[in-house]
Amino acid sequence: MKNYDLKQEQTLVIVKPDGVQRDLVGEVIKRYEQCGLKLVGLKMVIPTKDMALKHYSIDPEWAIKSGTKTFESYKAKGLPLPGKDPVEFAEGIRRKLPDFMSSGPVVSMVWQGMGAVSIVRKITGSTEPLTSLPGTIRGDYTIDSYTAADTDSRAVRNIIHSSGSVDEANKEIAIWFDKKEILSYRLVSEEIIYDVNLDGILE
């Protein structure tokens, strides 16, 4: 493949505590593995609340983006908004996320490959399981909603975290992994995915 750098894109995936409790670790790994991405880091940890808060504080725009997305979803369903201001609302969610993320073991992974960030987001599905498309992990394996979570004053249980951009991914990976825990190796299948020529298949 000519643009070799594209192969090096990395993204962070976390199977959240609800995903581990729902016995979905294997299924989740299978989905990302079978699409052609390469697993280059893997560990099971019980996150501290500090780690979780740090993780959700990387993007200075997060509260605006996430709060607006949630408010738009309420509007699209014709439901009364869950608060006055989307940023203030999202800041409330940010305070709830550490409780959720530190409630049990999670499985953190680094996946690598061409367009890894976008490919993983596509397979993961949109934030609210109620409206995540079938075929995605969030759409297929759980049923939570903004309204259910907000009624109970908790974070949405949507099985997976995945990085939203390359910049976010690089910063998030540094929180969850030491450099030496990210492995550099070749997969035979990469030749089929990336090589210009497929010489050598036929005998």
Please give the residue ranges that form the binding site for ligand UDP (CB under 6 A): 66, 69-70, 93, 97, 127, 146, 149, 155-156, 158, 161, 164
Question: In the bound complex, what is the minimum distance in angstroms from residue 65's beta carbon to ligand UDP?
Answer: 7
Catalytic hit among 158, 161, 173, 176: 161
CB burial of 21-48 (b: ≥16 within 10 Å; e: otherwise) equals ebebbeebbebbeeebbbbbbeeeeebe
Count how many Cα atoms sit within 13 Å of the Cα of residue 116 in the half-sphere of its side chain. 27
Q: Are 140 and 126 in contact (CB under 8 A)?
A: no
Residue 89 tokens read as 């609302």
Give the binding range for Mg ion (CB under 5 A) out of 72-80, 86-94, 140-148, 158-166.
158-166
Q: Which does 127 bind (CB under 5 to 8 A by kind): ligand UDP, Mg ion, none?
A: ligand UDP
- Rg of the chain (C-alpha set): 18
Question: In the bound complex, what is the minimum distance in angstroms from residue 165's beta carbon to ligand UDP?
Answer: 10
Report the residue from 89, 98, 164, 169 that binds Mg ion according to the rule CB under 5 A: 164
CA–CA distance, 161 with 199 (Å, rounded to integer): 39
Residue 161 annotated as catalytic? yes
Furthest-apart CA pair in the chain: how many Å?
Answer: 68
CA–CA distance, 123 with 137 (Å, rounded to integer): 6
Question: In the bound complex, what is the minimum distance in angstroms from residue 202's beta carbon to Mg ion?
Answer: 45
Query: Is the CB of 93 or the CB of 123 nearer to ligand UDP?
Result: 93
Query: Is the CB of 41 or the CB of 164 nearer to Mg ion?
Result: 164
Give the binding range for Mg ion (CB under 5 A) out of 95-103, 138-146, 157-165, 175-183.
157-165
CA–CA distance, 63 with 50 (Å, rounded to integer): 18
Query: Is the CB of 35 or the CB of 126 nearer to ligand UDP?
Result: 126
User: Binding residues for Mg ion, per CB under 5 A?
Assistant: 164
Residues known to be catalytic = 161
